[in-house]
Amino acid sequence: GPKVLQIPSHQIIDMGQMVTLNCDPVSNHLYFYWYKQILGQQMEFLVNFYNGKVMEKSKLFKDQFSVERPDGSYFTLKIQPTALEDSAVYFCASSPPGTNTEVFFGKGTRLTVV
Amino acid sequence: SQWGEENLQALSIQEGEDVTMNCSYKTYTTVVHWYRQDSGRGPALIILIRSNEREKRSGRLRATLDTSSQSSSLSITAAQCEDTAVYFCATANTGYQNFYFGKGTSLTVIP
């Protein structure tokens, strides 16, 4: 079935450094999402993205966060600078238009800020 | 917050038993998605129920939706060990094409 690919699967970074998480969404999908999950806890919505723009972002989407999808390539989440509390698994997802459709998730990138 | 009473909970049952997981939500939605998340993986959709449906079945899964009480349930009949996972419900914000997840239920099926 359709797959969302996330690269890398695990990243360790020093606090204060910049990190970019990459996502290759399903090819014909138009909506893209990032979610944050701390181990054993809820999937928390961060941001969604359509037609080159952020549609909605949550309070968790701090000023240090940014998203883009340059030239229809990877959908990226950039954190600059990183903080210890940014340590979590970040899931990328994509979907076609409409809320009666499935949202496809990647396997996640585990970010560890040290 | 989109969510009302649902809290992350852990359920442990014996293989062959039936189990029901509940979620309630606070804001309007036209659809409830139920996802399962296996350890180390992203969530995957298992059943979707629309606001004009009161019940939806898929194999051993049964979802219900009560829009008047803003609640949904997911039942698994004759649970098997491979049903062990975390189950989330999600509601949709059609205006923003967005999906909000509840806290989930960690289900363990013991052989």
Find the mean pLDDT for residues A99-109: 90
Please indicate, yes or no, if residue B93 is contained in any of the structural domains: yes
- Is the predicted pLDDT of residue B8 greater than 70, yes or no? no
- Token pair listed for B41: 């993986």
Chain A positions in Cβ-Cβ contact with residue B45 (cut-off 8 Å): 102-103
Q: What integer is the mean pLDDT of A80-95?
A: 96
Dihedrals phi, psi of A72, to nearest 5 degrees: 65, 20
CB contact A102 to B (< 8 Å):
yes
Binary contact (B88, A43; C-beta < 8 A): yes
SS3 B100: strand
User: Is B4 a domain residue?
Assistant: no
CATH number at residue B45: 2.60.40.10
Reference B55, options B70, B66, B71, B44; nearest CA is B66
Please tell me the total count of domains within chain A.
1
* Euclidean distance between CA atoms A101 and B72, whole angstroms: 18
- CATH number for the domain spanning A54: value is 2.60.40.10
A residues 15-74 lying closer than 8 A (beta carbon) to B: 31, 33, 35, 40-45, 48, 50, 55-56
CB–CB contact A106 B42 (8 Å):
yes
* Contact residues on chain A for B100, CB-CB shorter than 8 A: 45
Band of residue A12 on the pLDDT scale cut at 50, 70, 90: very high
Give the range of the structural domain holding residue B29, as residue numbers without chain letter: 9-110
Q: Report the residue count for chain A.
A: 114
Contact status, residue A35 vs residue A45, Cβ threshold 8 Å: yes
Is residue B3 domain-resident? no
Whether A41 and B101 lie within 8 Å, measured CB to CB:
no
- For residues A43 and B3, the model is more confident at A43
Considering its fold, how many domains does chain B have in total?
1
pLDDT tens readout for residues A31-71: 999 999 998 788 899 999 998 899 999 999 999 999 999 87
Q: Which domain holds residue A101?
A: 5-113
Taking contacts as CB-CB distances below 8 angstroms, the residues of chain A near B37 are 43
Query: What is the band of B87 on the pLDDT scale with cuts at 50, 70, 90?
Result: very high
Kindly list the residues from chain A whose CB atom is less than 8 angstroms away from the CB atom of residue B48: 100, 102
